[in-house]
Amino acid sequence: MIKLTIDEILLPKPDGRLRIYAWTPNDPPPAYTALIKVGQTTQADVNDRIRQSQGQMQQAYTLHVDEVAERDDGSIFRDNDVRRRLIEKGFEKVVIGASREWMRCSPADVKSAITELRKGLRFESARHETFPMRREQAEAVKVTHDYFQSRWAEDPKAVPRFLWNAKMRFGKTFTGYQLAKKLKAKRVLVVTFKPAVEDAWEADLKNHVDFDGWQYISRNAGGSPLDVPKDTPLVYFGSFQDLLGTDRYGNIKARNEWIHAINWDLVIFDEYHFGAWRDAAKELFEGEDAEVAKKELAYASSLETVNEDLEDLSEDEAEFLPITTKAYLYLSGTPFKALATGEFIEEQIFNWTYTDEQRAKAEFAVAQPEERNPYAALPQMRLLTYQMPDELLAIASGGEFDEFDLGEFFSASGKDVLATFKHKNEVQKWLDIIRGSFAPQTLDALKAGGKPPFPYSDVRLLPYLNHAFWFLPSVAACEAMKNILEEPQNVFWKAYDVIVAAGPRAGIGLNALPPVRDAIGSGHDTQTITLSCGKLTTGVTVPQWSSILMLRNLKSPETYFQAAFRVQSPWSIKNPDGDGPNREDVLKPVCFVFDFAPTRALRQISEYGIGLSPNEGNPEKAVADLVSFLPVLAYDGANMMQIDAGGILDIAMAGTSATLLARKWESAMLVNVDNDTLRRVLADEEAMAAVERIEGWRALGDNVIETIINKAEKIKDIKKKAKDKDLASKEKKELTDEEREYKSLRKKVQEKLIKFATRIPAFMYLTDFRENTLVDVITKIEPDLFRTVTGLTVADFNLLVDLKVFNTERMNAAVFAFRRYEDASLRYTGIDSHEGLSTVGGYDTVIAREA
């Protein structure tokens, strides 16, 4: 792990803005008479840039124009935009040698062109983007294409599936289209769970020269796919809820029946994390008003039913998708459920994580220092956590870990100007704390010998807080926060424009974004705080956001990092002086996440790190890899220090008890009982013999697995018939009865497998070896003891693991949690860790410090 100092973590923020300048020589040679040179620079003094461009031939000149190159909406324009506007107005562009910046016009004409551009006129050709794929994008296309081809070679009728586990800023739309192009696809269907991302899908197809001749159609863009010639590549964009929502009998919306008429070459699922759709997505918007949350989630009336189908039938899309296609591509930055459940095998997954991105950034800078780094503008994240004073902890601590409860602390009631916090006095103290003016804490800091870096007090952090996102628990909390920030005593906060992006008045989806962008403008001369309880946390890019304050409880790492990555959007100016294509001024090299519930925050980090590398043999190493590019600082009430992977895991699991460990081993996520897994077991005589030796299995009756599969097929047939005609009441009852019995049998099988799983920690406790992963349990154990405790042989268990009956990734996490809990118990009693325990990232140092 790369160890940074606190000063290195709190990196100074660069300052730069693009300026347009225009000048004329005082004594011009004949060829330059009546010409004016129009250029651009990010140098604070444009005269420095003009003298630099003159080289050794310094001459007297007059500077006529020095203007900020920013539109009213905060976007920038460039010197070539100004020259293009002048040409369109009839002025001549004069090329002298290698210089292409001279115009035959007056200074007033240049100022007029700048004014027109500033008012929002854009002059971009229909297809102006020419950039190639980055290395990882080309690799994603290649491995996916190769996998599809291999599956079709084995079975021409196969419908292969592939997952891109790719974080935000990977370029999934552009790369997805490149895959479609390589496949020579003529009909591409893009289905998303977040309709707000349509802008990116449409822009990439229409702006890049690689997709010349392609046609884009959606409900918003208009057009009919049936009218497009068969030899013209077509992309249709739609939401899952609109296109694929059905009733429980499989009937689709009449307006979408055309979807049956097209044989798609490729179907792309954007933002694919079905588990997160119900759980994390609901968590994201649970603070919104009920009606607003429903619209934000874009739930169709049938979506809950469809989600049940997805859970039961995820291995067979034909069961729930009313379409035919040659292949499926799934895109998600947080597909933790898909990874953890083994829904995709290793050869069906391409990974591009935050760690991969930041490692590529560092390696490119070393290997090709003279070239423009394509990753340079992607900020590195830093997490700063703060332990609240005891008097604040006292009013809002609870839950299973007795942690600081952000939901309770920031609970509020009322609407608009009448909204107020339940603990208003304490919230006011918290506002004083984050700007370093809370008297008791100031005294403690003096005793400790130094003031810790609080967000709105440390001069190194303040520039990154000019535009911050505050993530609160409810609409009332957002409105109450705006009200308290505007009270007379809070003079400090008067400098910030506070925008409430929550509740009905903020609008639905992207409608909440324009007020934020209007307030931010270019970001150089403004200061803003955006308050939200769910809006603008997914599918939104605001380059100037450089920090996020996590002020609500979040249970899932998917939700936490979807929100956190909002502030990781790049903010830079390419080729700032117009003559250096490899130069890029990065205005946001790092970004910050501030969290005030330390244990919960570090638990999110550990779960995210492990979730990014579900096949990593040592979870501690997975976390170490993450925090080597995401430094974590923790303030314990007296000192601010950097925490390594071992320390993060120790703190994250600090509240772990035997009861909580038992819950991990009783989770339904530990076992797979989907139809595909049951078919694999049924087809293997040794596997069938093994499951029949599990305690209580025979009580389920004869041929229970075969019965479940047969009932699934019967239900499938009934639903297929329902697509062609309405079911009679007798058939509806038959379907209901069959589904009820089918689910009941599957549940009983699941319970027997879970009961077996609960025997594993008992076995681990009795062995001398300290297990890190499930592989350790299988390969480094005492076989006789294993059979005595669990009832199965090691070979039986290994076979069932190979057949994916047991979820390897989830069991790895449970095994590792048990190991750390056991080690903590041993250390408490003064017993050293056993041999075989691997350490990463200073774990022993953490233990020594605790001792």
Q: Could you give the CA distance from residue 642 to residue 628 in angstroms, rounded to a whole number?
A: 11
Q: Of 580, 596, 612, which residue sits at a domain end? A: 596
pLDDT of residue 142: 97
Contacts of 511 (CB under 8 A, 6+ apart): none
Q: Domain check: are 254 and 287 in the same one?
A: yes
**Residue 80 zone, left/alpha/beta (φ > 0; ψ -120 to 50; rest):** alpha
- The answer to whether residues 109 and 579 touch, using CB atoms and an 8 Å cutoff, is no
* Whole-model pTM over 0.85: no
408/412 Cα distance (integer angstroms):
9
Q: Specify if 608 maps to a domain.
A: no
**Which residue in the block uniquely carries the two structure tokens 């992309």?**
235
E strands, 568-701, where?
572-574, 584-586, 590-595, 632-635, 640-642
Q: Does residue 10 fall inside a structural domain?
A: no
Same structural domain, 171 and 217: yes
Same domain? For 506 and 583 the reply is: yes
Judge whether 330 lies within some domain: yes
Q: Which two tokens stand for residue 415?
A: 């609407």
Asked if the structure places residue 616 within a domain, the reply is no
Does residue 371 form part of some domain? yes
CATH code of residue 398:
3.40.50.300
Res 79: pLDDT: 92
* Same domain flag for 428 and 454: yes
Using CA atoms, how far apart are residues 500 and 335, in angstroms rounded to an integer? Answer: 30
Residues 581 and 710 in one domain: no
Residues 442 and 375 in one domain: yes
The verdict on 242 and 284 lying in the same domain is yes
3-state secondary structure of 243: helix
Nearest to 198 by CA among 173, 169, 176: 173
* 319 and 372 housed in the same domain: no
636 within domain boundaries? no
What is the pLDDT, as a whole number, of residue 571? 93
First to last CA, the chain: 23
Q: Are residues 669 and 775 in the same domain?
A: yes
Which residues in 252-304 belong to E strands, given as ranges? Answer: 263-264, 266-270
Are 246 and 360 found together in one domain?
no
Token pair belonging to 705? 């697995």
Q: Please give the tally of structural domains in the chain.
A: 4
Q: Do 374 and 341 share a domain, yes or no?
A: no
CA 781 to CA 770: how far, in whole Å?
10
- 3-state class of 689 per DSSP? helix
List the one residue out of 641, 556, 574 whose CA is nearest residue 384.
641
Contact 323, 238 (CB under 8 A): no
Residues 537 and 400 in one domain: yes
Local structure of residue 32 (DSSP, 8 states): G
Whether the Cβ atoms of residue 86 and residue 113 lie closer than 8 Å to each other: yes
Are 404 and 395 a contacting pair, CB within 8 Å?
A: no
Residues of the chain scoring pLDDT < 70 = 1-3, 56-57, 120-128, 194-197, 241, 244-255, 272-322, 334-342, 398-403, 439-450, 509-510, 579-581, 612-617, 638, 652-669, 719-735, 761-782, 808-810, 812-851
Residue where one domain finishes, among candidates 352, 387, 411 = 352
H or E element at residue 633: strand 632-635
**Can you give the residue range of the structural domain that contains 45?**
19-118
Question: Which positions ≥6 away from 496 have C-beta within 8 Å?
Answer: 485, 527, 528, 529
Does 385 reside within a domain? yes
Maximal CA-CA distance, the chain: 102
> Last residue of some domain: 352, 382, 400?
352
Backbone angles phi, psi at 765, to 5 degrees: -65, -30
With a CB cutoff of 8 Å and minimum separation 6, the contacts of 124 are 207
In a domain, 496, yes or no: yes
